[in-house]
């Protein structure tokens, strides 16, 4: 079984976010980047298939040279090879078109993408990939088994879970639950050394016009000051909630 894991290069959630050029561009100065958490759950599940079923695991990213440390981390975790499409990830459709070409040329059986990336939270790419390639698609996937040419997937739905069966090739939009957080892997020294010798292929992008563009970024409004009220002074609390907060 050939598995392709789509990897997004995203800011660490602990990073301080700023914008530049009149709030029209994301300022990357001082920002630590990591594997998108939803993608990391998928990569860990792919490693399980590699170890239990002998699958080969490739990882792919759409981005410039600055994303290669993230791909090298995926190789250190255990992926067999990495592919980087050498272009900035501008919008969901553009990224999906680049990835669709990689999928079709590689003839992969299982494509694991994160349900969404934590930077833009678009949630578009996995579904677009399925539409572009004609593969089966399961989104919000929290469980996956493959036997022969058939996959059994569990997906999260409103109020519960749904189990579906479908044939390969299959694209999933994975998320937390696909593996447990305790199963996530930290690269060891041996993996880091081996990653340096693994193949990282750089592909030039296909000519595709993006459908959307970021016009302006805006930070959330700062939180207001907190007023502390003595638990013995209920009259003051009621007055503040009624006259200032206007919630009663």
Helix axes 125-133, 92-106, angle to 10 degrees: 50
- pLDDT tens digits along 93-137: 999 999 999 999 999 999 999 999 999 888 999 999 999 999 999
Cα separation, 151 vs 145, in Å, equals: 6
pLDDT at position 221, please?
87
Assess contact for 104 and 224: CB atoms under 8 A: no
- pLDDT tens digits along 29-45: 999 999 999 999 999 99
Q: Is the predicted pLDDT of residue 224 greater than 90, yes or no? A: no
- pLDDT tens digits along 50-81: 999 999 999 999 999 999 999 999 999 999 99
Q: Confirm or reject CATH 3.40.50.620 for domain 2-219, answering yes or no.
A: yes
DSSP codes, 186-217: ---HHHHHHHTTS-EEEEPPP----S------
Mean pLDDT of 166-170: 97
Assess contact for 55 and 49: CB atoms under 8 A: yes
Q: Is the predicted pLDDT of residue 225 greater than 90, yes or no? A: no
Cα separation, 240 vs 156, in Å, equals: 41
Residue spans per domain, the chain: 2-219
Assess contact for 44 and 179: CB atoms under 8 A: yes
Compute the radius of gyration of the chain from its Cα atoms: 22
Q: Please indicate, yes or no, whether the overall pTM of this predicted structure exceeds 0.85.
A: yes
Q: Band of the pLDDT at 213, cuts 50, 70, 90? A: confident
Q: Running DSSP on this structure, what letter comes out for residue 159?
A: T
Q: Band of the pLDDT at 223, cuts 50, 70, 90? A: confident
pLDDT at position 201, please?
97
């Amino acid at each position: 079984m050939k598995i392709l894991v789509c990897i997004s290069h995203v800011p660490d959630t602990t990073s301080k976010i700023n914008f530049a050029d009149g709030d029209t561009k994301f300022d990357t100065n001082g920002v630590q980047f990591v594997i998108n958490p939803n993608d990391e759950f998928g990569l860990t599940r792919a490693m399980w298939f590699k170890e239990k079923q002998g699958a080969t695991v490739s990882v792919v990213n759409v981005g410039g040279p600055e994303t290669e440390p993230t791909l090298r981390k995926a190789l250190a975790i255990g992926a067999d090879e990495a592919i980087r499409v050498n272009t900035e990830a501008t919008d969901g459709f553009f990224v999906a078109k680049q990835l669709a070409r990689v999928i079709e040329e590689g003839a992969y059986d299982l494509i694991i993408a994160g349900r969404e990336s934590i930077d833009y939270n678009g949630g578009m790419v996995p579904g677009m990939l399925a539409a572009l390639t004609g593969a089966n698609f399961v989104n919000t996937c929290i469980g996956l088994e493959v036997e022969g040419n058939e996959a059994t997937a569990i997906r999260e739905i409103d109020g519960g879970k749904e189990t579906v069966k479908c044939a390969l090739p299959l694209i999933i939009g994975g998320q937390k639950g696909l593996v447990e957080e305790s199963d996530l892997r930290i690269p060891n020294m041996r993996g880091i050394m081996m990653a340096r010798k693994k193949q990282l292929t750089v592909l030039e992008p296909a000519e595709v016009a993006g459908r959307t563009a970021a016009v302006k970024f805006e930070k959330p409004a700062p939180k207001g000051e907190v007023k502390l009220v003595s638990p013995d002074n209920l009259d003051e609390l009621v007055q503040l909630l009624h006259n200032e907060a206007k919630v009663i």
